[in-house]
Structure 1
Amino acid sequence: MLQLIAGSKGTGKTKKIVGQAKAAVSQTDGKVAFIEKGAELTYDLPHDVRLFNTDDYDIGGAEAFYGFLAGIAASDYDVKHIFVDSVVKIVGDNTALVTEFVEKVDRLARKQEIEIVMTLSRDASEFSENINRFIVTNLA
């Protein structure tokens, strides 16, 4: 299942997703992965969370990032939760591209039975119904 946390810059999306990742560690019998662009959260997450910095892997664009997500799912069947902070910074700001990416990630999450939570650095009103159906939290 895919869930999105939307909101403008500075509304608390990162704090919320970090809290969810911390909770997932104590509530799951599987592994938890967290993906971000940059190394901002190194000390904010428990050591049980596998932290990936997309800059370390030269990931840019939707196709490359989808492949990275699929690779995490394929390489370790124990991964039950994947958290992604600021997907727009990784895949780009094109609304059509983000929509296509989100729908593709939802199919991956359902097929692999992984809970994926991502933040979007824009308000939910800026997206179509195709994305809004995945938004569980819109921070203003």
Structure 2
Amino acid sequence: MIKIIVGSRGSGKTKTLIDQINEAAKTSAGNVICLDKTLKLQYDLATNVRLVDIDQYGIKGFGEFLGFVCGLMAGNYDITHIFVDSILKVGGAEKDLDGLGVMLGEIDELKDAKDIEFVFTVSAEEAALPESVRKYL
């Protein structure tokens, strides 16, 4: 399942994400992963959440990000949640909403991702989202 948290910069998306991550960490019987471009969330997350600084892996673009996620899933069969803060920054182009929609569709089609809850924050206004992204609201 894929969900997105949408709003303009400074609207509280990351705070909402942190609350969802910590709730998942309390209830999950598997692994909860948070992907971010920094480790700034390390003191806000429960200690059993794996925080990954994806900048350490040189990810540039949505295609490389998708490959990274597939690698995580291949190496760990009991992931229950993957949270991603600021996915447009991760994708490399802050306003590539169409590219985001394509990548979300590819994640949605992954057979092994069906049992994983994905949550992304997107810094954009809801009205600006293409239908390929909007369907995950």
Using the TM superposition, give the Cα deviation of residue 3 of structure 1 relative to its aligned residue in structure 2, in angstroms: 0.4
**TM-score normalised to structure 1 length:** 0.91
Within-5 A mapping of 1:35-114: 35-91=35-91, 92=93, 93-108=95-110, 111-114=113-116
Using the TM superposition, give the Cα deviation of residue 98 of structure 1 relative to its aligned residue in structure 2, in angstroms: 1.3
CA distance in structure 1 between the partners assigned to 2:49 and 2:113 by the alignment: 22
* Pair 1:32–1:102, CA change in 2 (3 A): same
C-alpha RMSD of the superposition: 1.3
Counterpart contact for 1:109–1:115, Cα < 8 Å? no
Using the TM superposition, give the Cα deviation of residue 118 of structure 1 relative to its aligned residue in structure 2, in angstroms: 0.5
Displacement over 3 Å in runs of 4+: 109-112
Using the TM superposition, give the Cα deviation of residue 42 of structure 1 relative to its aligned residue in structure 2, in angstroms: 1.4
Using the TM superposition, give the Cα deviation of residue 95 of structure 1 relative to its aligned residue in structure 2, in angstroms: 2.1
* Pair 1:36–1:109, CA change in 2 (3 A): farther
Counterpart contact for 2:34–2:84, Cα < 8 Å? yes
Using the TM superposition, give the Cα deviation of residue 102 of structure 1 relative to its aligned residue in structure 2, in angstroms: 1.4
Using the TM superposition, give the Cα deviation of residue 110 of structure 1 relative to its aligned residue in structure 2, in angstroms: 6.6
CA distance in structure 2 between the partners assigned to 1:7 and 1:69 by the alignment: 24
Within-5 A mapping of 1:127-138: 127-135=129-137
Aligned length, in residue pairs: 135
CA distance in structure 1 between the partners assigned to 2:49 and 2:67 by the alignment: 20
CA distance in structure 1 between the partners assigned to 2:99 and 2:90 by the alignment: 12
User: CA offsets per residue over residues 14-50 of structure 1, 9 Å max, x none?
Assistant: 0001100000011111110000012211111111000
CA distance in structure 2 between the partners assigned to 1:29 and 1:111 by the alignment: 16
Secondary structure of residue in 2 paired with 1:41: coil
In the other structure, the counterpart of 1:125 is: 127
CA distance in structure 2 between the partners assigned to 1:112 and 1:74 by the alignment: 14
Gapped runs of 5+ residues in structure 2? none
CA distance in structure 2 between the partners assigned to 1:16 and 1:68 by the alignment: 24
Secondary structure of residue in 2 paired with 1:105: helix
* Pair 1:18–1:74, CA change in 2 (3 A): same
